[in-house]
Amino acid sequence: MKEYEEIKVTETKKVATGITCNKCGKSRKISEDGWEFGEFQSFSLSFGYGSIYDEQIWKFDICETCLVDFVNTFKYSPNIYEV
């Protein structure tokens, strides 16, 4: 049988306090509750077997202006859905 007592645990963790567009450098603060401005999108890309970037993961954040500029270079527009 084990005996228990309550102890206070202090935890240190890393939280995002700001977000910056990797392409243009525009920055915004992130609120204390973690709410991010909707004008940024975060990407995480994992390259698979056969790619010259195999086993790499690329992470970056892009503002909507830069994202629209990028998407406008597409030959075919992305599928867009309302949620």
Interacting span for Zn ion (CB under 5 A) from 1-9, 26-34, 41-49, 70-78: 26-34
Interacting span for Zn ion (CB under 5 A) from 2-10, 21-29, 39-47, 52-60: 21-29
Distance CA 56, CA 46 (A): 6
Nearest to 26 by CA among 57, 56, 69, 58: 69
Q: Is 19 in the site for Zn ion (CB under 5 A)?
A: no
* Under 8 Å between Cβ of 28 and 37: yes
* Residue number with CB closer to Zn ion (47 or 70): 70
Q: How many residues interact with Zn ion (rule CB under 5 A)?
A: 6
